[in-house]
Structure 1
């Protein structure tokens, strides 16, 4: 492969990342009505560059979702090596809840365009679910989470906390709710 081809590909990857970064910011600020022209302007590229990488606005939303979920899944993976699996599970919940709380406008935008997150990033969702399952199993084995609590219940609790966080601007209240949930997960003494 020629040096020129490698340089063009590297430049295209950089442009794609700049577009994604700009789009994430623009859509979080302006919601579904944000224009791709504004995304291009903030990324410092032409509108043609945006559409070369993302032929539709929905494709751009989907790429942002996959990118964000990938980041969360990558950050979660090292938690499985924790000596305190219940604490690591709580840390992961807190990260996901904070993410939900700070990205409400983005979540609203995804709802407007009817983006199916599970369909957009099934592998990343599976990776995150596997990490949660690993932490839950380790915490149950360590006796720090009730043995009768399954992955389905934990996922419902997480989904509820994330949904509530989108509508709860008070971080102290979110932390308090998380503490209540984890108190309920702890085995009775």
Structure 2
């Protein structure tokens, strides 16, 4: 039992937790495709649950979009922790930025619903901006300390540049083009031998 606002409620059942995770995974897949097929019904079908189950977990379309986006931001934050010890500093920055471009691809079908969060002060914007700049800051500081990247760039600068690169996301082949641009950009920030060969 969990105490909330003076009321006692039960912890979520294991099957309810599994259903929520299945819905988030399905939503990520469906939303990454975008277009007219990115409906809540398609998400429920992909997760192999009824539409009522989806609405019990996510009462609005926006709440589902936001949950998927938060999960992706959390994964990027966790990825930074994994990369900081498992890769060379510049390679870690490059890999994390590529993963962030994948996040933009995942958001393709959610852009309208998330536009307010992305362009206006909101709790979701503050949450994601803080998590992403902190995660990237860990990797960037490590590359700078190793003498492999310029010290006059901030995590905020890198994220703004990445947003600019992803601006043409509605054009065919944008994902491959942006991944290529990320490599060029990272190489340009490197000091001497740290550049990719």
Matched residues, number: 182
Secondary structure of 1:91's counterpart equals: helix
Q: Distance in 1 between matches of 2:102 and 2:39?
A: 27
CA contact (8 A) 2:162 2:182 kept: no
Aligned-residue CA RMSD in angstroms? 3.0
Q: Distance in 2 between matches of 1:76 and 1:168?
A: 29
* TM-score, L = length of structure 1: 0.76
RCO comparison, higher one (Cα < 8 Å, 6+): 1
Deviation at 1:125, TM superposition (A): 4.1
Report Cα offsets for 1:152-189 as digits up to 9, x if no partner: 32222222233346646166644432232123212368
Q: Determine the structure 2 residue equivalent to 1:27.
A: 31
CA contact (8 A) 1:16 1:53 kept: yes
Q: Does 1:186 find its partner at 2:190?
A: yes
| Pairing partner for 2:59 from 24, 31, 55 | 55
Q: Does 1:120 find its partner at 2:121?
A: no
CA contact (8 A) 2:26 2:47 kept: yes
Deviation at 1:138, TM superposition (A): 1.9
Q: Which has the higher helix share?
A: 1
Alpha-carbon spacing, 1:164–1:182, altered in 2? closer, same or farther (3 Å):
farther
Alpha-carbon spacing, 1:74–1:167, altered in 2? closer, same or farther (3 Å):
farther
